[in-house]
Amino acid sequence: MSATTTKSVYRQGFRDGLPFLIVALPFGMLFGVVATEAGMTLAQTMGFSIAVIAGAAQFTALQLMQENAPVLIILATSLAVNLRMAMYSASLAPHLSNAPLWKRALAAYVLVDQVYAVSLARYDRPPELNTPQKYAYYFGVATPLVPMWYGATFLGARMGAGIPPEFALDFAVPITFLALVAPMLRTVAHLAAALTSVVLSLALAFLPLNLGLLIAALLAMVAGVQVELWMERKSK
C-alpha cells in the first residue's frame, strides 16, 4: 500500500475519534475539578493524568486516597478497574504485535477505551489493513483524544469550583462507558459478566474502601469465563 493510503487511514482514524471529544472534555474537566478540590496541586493533577491516562482508575484512586485507604488497597482497586486493559491488549495483539518496541510501547500508553473500541471495530471490517495502516488508524483515533484529556484536566484544575454545578460534568462518566460497553455485549458470556458486575457492585456498595467494586470485578470475570466454558461444552 502507498504512503498516501496510510495517511488516509490515519485521517479516517482521526475523524472517527472526534465524536468522543464530546464526552472526553467534561470527563477530563471533572477529574481536574475533583482532584483540585481534594487538595492536589496543579502539577500533581497534571502528573496524575499524564502518567496514568485512565479516567476510571484515576477517580477510583483519588476517592480512596481521600479516605486514607492503605496504599495496597488503592493499587489493588485501581488495578481491578483497569484490568480490562489487559484483555484489550490481548485482543489487539494479533493486529499490532508485528512492530518495533517503541511503537508498541506508545500504543500501550494511549490505549484507552475509546481508542480500543473504535480501532478493533475498524480492524474487523473490510477492506483489510496491513500492520502500518492499523497503527496509522489506531494513532489517528488517539490523536484528538489524548491531548484533549490533558487539556481538559488542566482546564478543570484551573477553574476548580468555579464551574457552575448546573453544568453537571459528571454526566460524561456513565455516558462514556455505556456508549463503549453496550455495543461490545455480543455474547451470553459478555452479558453474564456485565450483569454480575452490576448486581454485585450494588449489593456490596456498603463495604468500605470500594472493596465491593474489587470483588464485583473479579467475580464478574469468573462468571464470564464459566458461562463461556459452559457454552463451549454445550456446543460440543
Domain residue spans of the chain: 3-184, 186-236
**Which of 11 and 189 is assigned the larger pLDDT?**
11
- Read off the pLDDT of each residue in 3-18 and give the average, rounded to a whole number: 89
Tell me the mean pLDDT in the region 110-135: 92
Residue 4 has pLDDT above 80, yes or no: no
Q: What would the mean pLDDT of 22-33 be, rounded to a whole number?
A: 85
Q: What is the mean pLDDT of residues 200-219?
A: 84
How many residues make up the chain in this entry?
Answer: 236
Confidence at residue 149, expressed as pLDDT on a 0 to 100 scale? 93
Whether residue 137 has pLDDT greater than 50: yes
Is it the case that residue 150 has pLDDT exceeding 80? yes
Residue 1, pLDDT > 50, answer: no
DSSP string, 152-211: HHHHHHHHGGGS-GGG-GGGHHHHHHHHHHGGG--SHHHHHHHHHHHHHHHHTTTSGGGH
**Global confidence as pTM:** 0.75
pLDDT per residue as tens digits for the range 46-93: 999 999 898 888 888 888 888 888 888 888 888 877 888 888 898 899
Distance, CA of 16 to CA of 136 (rounded, Å): 13
pLDDT band at 2 (very low <50, low <70, confident <90, very high): very low
* pLDDT of residue 180 exceeding 60: no
* Mean pLDDT along residues 120-146: 94
Distance CA 31, CA 8 (A): 34
Q: Is the pLDDT of residue 194 over 70?
A: yes
- Lookup result for grid cell 493486529: 95
Nearest to 53 by CA among 112, 108, 114: 112
The residue ranking higher by pLDDT, 143 or 39, is 143
